[in-house]
């Protein structure tokens, strides 16, 4: 679908793009083999006291030809490598010492841990050290504090190697075999590496990087692995992993970083800069982004010098490759608005037969891995230059069973709106489109964008039922980076075309890419860009769908996961429940097949109940909530939800959440999937809603807003408890009191929630002898007295209702409730331990 020019384009039309070209390091020529007698006469150590004479009489350094023999398999690139039998040697020239390199560890096969770090090779006498480097603290080299900061940032030594020989160009030759085959913590992918079962497999060398693969055998705890799940037993066992290490030189010319802004969502790197002029140690944060530079800096839109390329794993099912490619290149319009044409591309990675030297794990390659795993998920991330935030390698993991998750989501949320979803399995064309959606989302993470759960609450509910609105905006949410899956708010009578049910790149996505990548004329430092970046970010003041979620806004009811139309959660959930009821009628026709069991029906039924719980959670989040907008020095950021809106939310839950939906208790369906279980399932779902409303944090929010808002404007904890009493304990006011099994369980769940709140906090992690000032307060707020007062009133109503019980079970239940309330009001004194 064509993407409309977003509203940000007009405001950014006057920007003039600038960029600088980047250079490429030429591949050095292969060395000319040296005669044996020449190799034997090693080039002297440049730091020797006398040419040809070691600086110490106890030196273990041998002639070059005695170490690097004629049998060596030599490769040339970042520096020379030599394989001789089972040994691997690095020949590190002086100019490569003290240079920072990105070291990645990836699992090519088997199970093991992955990792990344920045390292550098340094020399200490007749040793070469591999040190880990950190950019957590920095200072300008021209400032007085620089030396102290450099000393504080001294990196730990990962490994130490004796210099075995000096190369003909004074390069230090070291045996690095054990770096990849022993139990060095920073290098090992498994624990307790067994040297007799671990060995180097291959090495490849390029101008900017070195790639090493080795087999490591050891034991590993039951931790997640990108190539497959851990053993179900959870116990340690022998494992073997094929491990790939990639060592890439950080750019010699660092990219100019762009300062992070909390109003615009970017993953960032941070450092404390002790040389800034502020009267404090200032934390500087830079966004993570690819380096994009224009071929023609004078052009408004130009091809990039080097585009962003994502390589598609050859293991990707062939029929899905076009959809994966489309998921990557869906970001092209956003980059074009930032001034770069064809800035992001997808290519099919070569197979080992096509290019044996090419590796997906190479630190120069951004890759979409297809993982043969039962994990129902996908992830995206990146490895960066810690100095600037430049993305050097981006990675997306597509786990095979994400397709199962997508089928469930789409059927439960969209089947009433899309006839293709009513017959299972879904057609390949639909599943391909769903895979494209997931890839686009994960590519967003890979290019530096975090989730933005705020976005879905910036479109009005009625607007996302309008085809014209959806066409104009691209989808029902302003960003692919929200967990706003499929448009479950739209109704069948709205006639929304099926291509508008799945999210696409939206106005926020385009805005964020422009904000992070568009060149700013005349800027030479990150601080030079501040004014323009601030101007762009303040577009959010008048265009709500350009907003990013507010850091620290834990109770914003508009920043929710799995939500559509949460600008008005009550209205959106009312519409969603209509569709969910339609879905329940479709379950048996979609899943029942002669000759097949009812596993799929059971799974989808459970998904439907879970979806119902999510809908109720979106409404419950309104209580005690505060809307938010991140601002930089221009006014309030938090806005408590109105009293009327909170009361409406609780009354909605009273009508819906606290009554068992008939479509979940249909015997015709239940007897196909289980002999029993529906009562406990409904109880757990309703208890989660109650626990959400009666969470300690939410009650404290109500207390705080009552104290800080003008009199009469706050929805108080007393209001909440009174409204819940009307919804949970409705039967107590009826002439003939009859409480069915689902409501009895609901009322017991209510008392359990109250009991958790009345229990004093456990004092864990502190010795009993700690001073009283260090102990948490036993009852830190008004929650306890308010709840006890509510229990007294509830007990009065229960006692009045018991004589009006219409059946024996109701009478027994009310008596039990009375006893439980008394127990909560008058707990037995704790007895002292005799042990």
Residue 555 in domain:
no
Q: What angle do CA 204, 209, 213 make, to 5 degrees?
A: 40
Distance (Å, rounded) from C-alpha 682 to C-alpha 684?
Answer: 5
Distance (Å, rounded) from C-alpha 583 to C-alpha 562?
Answer: 18
pLDDT of residue 334 exceeding 80: yes
What 3-state class would DSSP assign to 205?
A: strand
Residue 483 CB neighbour total at 10 angstroms: 16
Distance (Å, rounded) from C-alpha 323 to C-alpha 433?
Answer: 7
pLDDT band at 133 (very low <50, low <70, confident <90, very high): very high
Question: How many separate helices (H) and strands (E) can be counted in the chain?
Answer: 22, 21
Q: What pLDDT does 37 receive?
A: 36
Distance (Å, rounded) from C-alpha 234 to C-alpha 137?
Answer: 39
Distance (Å, rounded) from C-alpha 15 to C-alpha 22?
Answer: 22
Q: What angle do CA 178, 183, 185 make, to 5 degrees?
A: 115
pLDDT of residue 614 exceeding 50: yes
Residue 202 in domain:
yes
Positive or negative: CA dihedral 308, 311, 316, 317: positive
Q: What is the pLDDT of residues 201-244, one digit of tens each?
A: 999 999 999 999 999 999 875 455 665 555 555 567 899 999 99
Residue 69 sits in which domain range? 60-231+242-249
List helix spans (H) across 447-496: 467-473
Angle subtended by helix axes 599-620 and 678-693, to nearest 10: 20
Q: What is the pLDDT of residues 265-289, one digit of tens each?
A: 999 999 988 888 888 888 999 999 9
Distance (Å, rounded) from C-alpha 2 to C-alpha 472?
Answer: 10
Share of the chain above pLDDT 90, in %: 82
Give the mean model confidence (pLDDT) for residues 787-807: 97
Residue 81 in domain:
yes
Q: What pLDDT does 552 receive?
A: 87
Q: What is the pLDDT of residues 249-260, one digit of tens each?
A: 999 999 999 999
Residue that has been written with the tokens 């938010």 in this structure: 628
Residue 107 in domain:
yes
Give the mean model confidence (pLDDT) for residues 550-564: 95
Distance (Å, rounded) from C-alpha 469 to C-alpha 473?
Answer: 6
Residues 6+ apart with CB under 8 A from 293: 19, 20, 21, 22, 304, 305, 306
- Tokens representing 829? 């004194």
Q: Residue 361's closest CA among 219, 221, 214?
A: 214
pLDDT of residue 121 exceeding 80: yes
- Tokens representing 467? 């085809």
Q: What is the pLDDT of residues 448-494, one digit of tens each?
A: 999 999 999 999 999 999 999 999 999 999 999 999 999 999 999 99
pLDDT band at 829 (very low <50, low <70, confident <90, very high): confident
Q: What pLDDT does 582 receive?
A: 98
CA R_g for the chain: 32
What 3-state class would DSSP assign to 305?
A: coil
Give the mean model confidence (pLDDT) for residues 566-580: 98
Q: What is the pLDDT of residues 738-764, one digit of tens each?
A: 999 999 999 999 999 999 999 865 544
Distance (Å, rounded) from C-alpha 115 to C-alpha 66?
Answer: 36
Lowest mean pLDDT segment, chosen from 103-112, 404-413, 571-580, 779-788: 779-788
DSSP category for residue 29: P
Residue 103 in domain:
yes
Distance (Å, rounded) from C-alpha 246 to C-alpha 363?
Answer: 6
Q: What is the pLDDT of residues 414-449, one digit of tens each?
A: 999 999 999 999 999 999 999 999 999 999 999 999
Question: How many domains does the chain fold into?
Answer: 1
> What DSSP letter does each residue of 143-203 carry, written as one string?
STTHHHHHHHTPPPEEEEEEEEEE-TTSPEEEE-HHHHHS--TTT-SSBS--GGG-EEEEE
Q: How many residues does the chain have?
A: 835
Q: Residue 245's closest CA among 217, 213, 216, 198?
A: 213
Give the mean model confidence (pLDDT) for residues 176-185: 95
Q: What pLDDT does 149 receive?
A: 85
Helix (H) or strand (E) holding 723: helix 717-728
Contact 94, 46 (CB under 8 A): yes
Distance (Å, rounded) from C-alpha 380 to C-alpha 409?
Answer: 20
Strand partners for 270: 285
pLDDT of residue 698 exceeding 70: yes
pLDDT of residue 319 exceeding 70: yes
Residues 6+ apart with CB under 8 A from 58: none
Q: What angle do CA 534, 535, 537 make, to 5 degrees?
A: 65
Give CA torsion, residues 318, 320, 325, 330, to 10 deg: 170
Give residue 115's Cα distance to chain centre. 16
Residue 424 in domain:
no
Contact 447, 331 (CB under 8 A): yes
Q: What pLDDT does 22 receive?
A: 37
pLDDT of residue 35 exceeding 50: no
Q: Residue 731's closest CA among 792, 830, 626, 804?
A: 804
Q: What is the pLDDT of residues 634-658, one digit of tens each?
A: 999 999 999 999 999 999 999 999 9
Q: What is the pLDDT of residues 524-540, one digit of tens each?
A: 999 999 999 999 999 99
Share of the chain above pLDDT 70, in %: 88
Lowest mean pLDDT segment, chosen from 4-8, 55-59, 403-407, 496-500: 4-8
Residue that has been written with the tokens 């106890």 in this structure: 58
Residue 186 in domain:
yes
Instruction: Return phi, psi of residue 219, to 5°.
Output: -115, 155
Residue 136 in domain:
yes
């Amino acid at each position: 679908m064509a993407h409309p020019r977003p509203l940000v384009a007009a405001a950014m039309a006057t920007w003039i793009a600038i960029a600088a070209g980047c250079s490429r390091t030429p591949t050095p020529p292969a060395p000319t083999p040296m005669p044996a007698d020449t190799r034997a006469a090693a080039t002297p150590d440049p730091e020797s006291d006398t040419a040809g004479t070691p600086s110490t009489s106890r030196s273990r350094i041998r002639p070059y030809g005695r170490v690097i023999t004629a049998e060596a398999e030599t490769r040339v690139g970042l520096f020379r490598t030599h394989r001789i039998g089972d040994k691997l040697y690095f020949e590190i020239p002086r100019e490569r010492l003290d240079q920072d390199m990105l070291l990645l560890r990836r699992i090519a096969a088997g199970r093991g841990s992955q990792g990344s770090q920045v390292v550098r090779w340094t020399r200490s006498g007749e040793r070469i050290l591999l040190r880990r480097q950190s950019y957590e603290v920095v200072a300008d080299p021209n400032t007085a504090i620089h030396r102290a900061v450099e000393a504080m940032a001294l990196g730990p030594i990962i490994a130490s190697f004796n210099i075995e020989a000096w190369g003909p160009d004074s390069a230090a030759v070291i045996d690095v075999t054990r770096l990849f085959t022993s139990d060095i913590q920073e290098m090992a992918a498994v624990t307790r590496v067994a040297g007799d079962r671990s060995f180097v497999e291959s090495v490849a060398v390029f101008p900017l990087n070195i790639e090493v693969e080795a087999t490591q055998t050891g034991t590993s705890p039951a931790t997640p692995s990108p190539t497959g799940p851990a053993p179900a037993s959870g116990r340690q066992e022998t494992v073997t992993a094929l491990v790939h290490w990639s060592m890439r030189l950080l750019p010699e010319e660092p990219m100019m970083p762009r300062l992070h802004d909390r109003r615009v969502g970017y993953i960032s790197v941070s450092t404390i800069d002790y040389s800034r002029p502020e009267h404090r140690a200032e934390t500087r944060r830079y966004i993570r982004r690819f380096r994009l530079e224009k071929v023609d800096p004078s052009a408004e839109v130009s091809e990039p010098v080097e585009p962003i390329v994502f390589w598609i794993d050859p293991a990707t099912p062939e029929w899905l490759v076009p959809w994966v490619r489309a998921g990557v290149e869906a970001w092209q319009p956003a980059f074009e608005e930032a001034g770069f044409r064809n800035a992001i591309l997808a290519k099919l990675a070569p197979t080992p037969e096509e290019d044996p030297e090419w590796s997906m794990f190479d630190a120069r390659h951004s890759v979409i891995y297809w993982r043969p795993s039962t994990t129902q998920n996908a992830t995206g991330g990146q490895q960066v230059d810690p100095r600037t935030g430049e993305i050097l390698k981006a990675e997306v993991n597509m786990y095979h069973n994400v397709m199962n998750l997508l089928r469930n989501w789409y059927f439960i949320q969209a089947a009433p709106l899309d006839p293709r979803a009513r017959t299972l399995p879904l057609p390949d064309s639909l599943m391909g489109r769903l895979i494209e959606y997931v890839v686009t989302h994960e590519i967003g993470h890979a290019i530096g964008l975090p989730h933005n759960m705020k976005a879905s609450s910036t479109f009005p509910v009625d607007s996302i039922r309008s085809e014209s609105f959806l066409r104009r905006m691209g989808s029902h949410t302003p960003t692919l980076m929200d967990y706003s899956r499929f448009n479950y708010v739209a109704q069948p009578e709205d006639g929304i075309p099926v291509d508008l049910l799945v999210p696409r790149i939206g106005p926020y996505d385009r805005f964020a890419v422009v904000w992070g990548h568009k060149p700013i004329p005349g800027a030479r430092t990150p601080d030079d860009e501040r004014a323009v970046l601030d101007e762009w970010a303040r577009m959010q003041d008048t265009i709500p769908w350009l907003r990013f979620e507010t850091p620290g806004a834990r109770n914003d009811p508009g920043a929710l996961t799995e939500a559509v139309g949460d600008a008005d959660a009550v209205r959106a959930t009312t519409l969603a429940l209509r569709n969910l009821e339609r879905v329940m009628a479709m379950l048996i026709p979609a899943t029942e097949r002669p000759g097949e069991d009812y596993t799929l029906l059971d799974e989808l039924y459970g998904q439907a109940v879970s979806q119902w719980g999510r809908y109720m959670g979106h409404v419950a989040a309104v209580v005690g909530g505060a809307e938010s907008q991140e601002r930089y020095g221009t006014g309030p950021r938090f806005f408590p939800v109105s009293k009327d809106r909170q009361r409406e939310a609780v009354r909605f839950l009273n009508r819906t959440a606290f009554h068992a939906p008939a479509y979940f208790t249909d015997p015709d369906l239940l007897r196909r999937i289980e002999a029993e279980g529906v009562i406990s399932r409904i109880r757990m779902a309703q208890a989660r809603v109650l626990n959400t409303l009666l969470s300690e944090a939410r009650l404290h929010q109500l207390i705080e807003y009552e104290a800080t808002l003008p009199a009469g404007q706050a929805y108080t904890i007393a209001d909440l408890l009174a409204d819940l009493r009307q919804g949970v304990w409705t039967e107590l006011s009826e002439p003939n009191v009859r409480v069915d099994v689902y409501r009895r369980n609901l009322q017991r769940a209510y008392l359990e929630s109250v009991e958790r709140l009345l229990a004093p906090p456990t004092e864990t992690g502190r010795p009993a002898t700690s001073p009283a000032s260090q102990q948490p307060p036993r009852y830190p707020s008004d929650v306890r007295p308010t709840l006890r007062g509510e229990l007294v009133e509830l007990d009065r109503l229960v006692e009045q209702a018991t004589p009006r019980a219409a059946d024996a079970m109701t009478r027994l239940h009310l008596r039990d409730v009375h006893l439980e309330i008394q127990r909560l009001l008058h707990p037995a004194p704790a007895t002292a331990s005799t042990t």
